[in-house]
Structure 1
Amino acid sequence: MVSVWKNVQQNRPEILKAVLFDMDNTLFDFVAVKLIACREILSYLGGGDRNLKEDPAELFSYFLRGTYGFEDYENIKDYMQERKVFTEQAYLQCCEIYDREKLQNLELYPGVRDTLEELKKLGLRLAIITDSDRYHARARLMKVGLLDSFELLVSADMTGTKKPDPAHFLFALDILGLKPEESLVVGDSIKRDMAPARRLGLKTAYASYGDWRPTEETEQCFDFQLKTFQDLIGYIGTLNGMLCSDRYIKKNQIDP
């Protein structure tokens, strides 16, 4: 049995041709590594003060304020200054710890690598659309061994803006030469990924397994919910009118 079995509808105009992935918390748990980085910063700053070591969530909360970007070092500086532990040397060391620990502790969600390989076998074009800058995005993808898995990377420094601004999605569609209905967006944020993509007419798969935020929207503004990354295979098979793999056929007890 071949690994891909196509089922009619060859002339279907809206057949899926590309998948645009958010990166952080969609491919890997980025909040987890940020908390590890915050813990290591507090351990460095705390010395004999156990209070600084006990709650990395307190430092992490500074990144959530919206005063600066989610990855901006100024959040660390504010924390240090408000607790009167700021020195230029210590600040630079904390920034180094922050970047090092985030990168070293990155691990893919289960099934990501195999699923991406299967999508490529189906002839789908794969891209990353991230609010990270290009340097850090490439470093993270290299760390988890996925840098060569995507033909396009769209980052915040390339578009000059961040999601939910539509620029990331439009940039990717333009470079790939595709229509919105020919593409699927996969992301963990309803507000920043699902809602803007759907408004543009792209198909949407909500990676709820990676959404660490409180509920952002009351309405279901996505087409499909992924409870695991591997769920993507079955959904794309449904979209394209095909059964994507022996595994999918067996799982759903379908006789080809």
Structure 2
Amino acid sequence: MILGIDSGSSAVKVATEQGVSSFPSCLGEWRERNLSSTFGKDDMEFEYQGEKGFAGTLAKYESEFLRQMMGSTKAHEDAKIRTLIAVHRYGGPQNEIVVGQPIIQHNDHEKQKIKDMLRGQHTITVNGVTKTFNINRVEVAAEGGAVYWALNTKAPLIRIIDIGSGTVNYATIEAGRYIDKDSSSLEYGAESTKSQNVNSMVESIIAQTSKKWRKEDVVLIAGGMAEEVQNLVSSYYKEAKAIKVPYVENGQIDFAHPVYANALAFLNIARGLYCV
């Protein structure tokens, strides 16, 4: 089965041929509970390689030591567990996946670390159901920039701003090629700072990107806050708009919320890589 998995620090977004789904990225310690309340469909207890823990909404409400690891790389154990839970929930016995990595650390060394930690056979138990599956192939795409490959566009120059919870990726694609000098990551995001001043965050993004980008450029905004910040971004970049990626669910074409833009892009890349 092919999957596009965006293992963000706020939510894990998954795209398959059946559609898109997500669950909270929260992880935390496991413990015996005297009062076993239910908090939602994303309550999860997991066990992997001898480690037991809570995940999703159960971790959010019942773990004392909640962790939602952020940063400029996804080459860490938390991202691995989030991804394996995603495959447990939405994958099959044999899987081929594409995952993401912030642009600032999208280099061969970090990408190989991610491939090595995910590729192979895994056994993980989620909510009492144990599954053993293989991840046969893994590729690592650039977060934000990959969104271009989910679009049907003939625009010669596309700028993309991808506002995540832990990082902001900004990318430039011209004639179907990355322009590295006009692309990078900002090491803050919608949930990674003490200040939650959205206006100031957008002003900072514009201050950085406008060093290379022009006001009249086509700018597409991805991420969970895309619709919220569209007007703020378009006050400078006149052609800025929140992106909605087309996808098929239950045989019908729909347009996904911008939060799924990376996951759907990863799925499209996976189709090109694996469906041959």
Normalised TM-score (structure 2): 0.34
Q: Relative contact order: is structure 1 or structure 2 higher (C-alpha 8 Å, sep ≥ 6)? A: 1
The TM-score, its normalising length taken from structure 1, stands at 0.36
Structure having the higher strand fraction is 2
Write 1 or 2 for the structure with the bigger share of helix: 1
Structure with the greater alpha carbon radius of gyration: 1
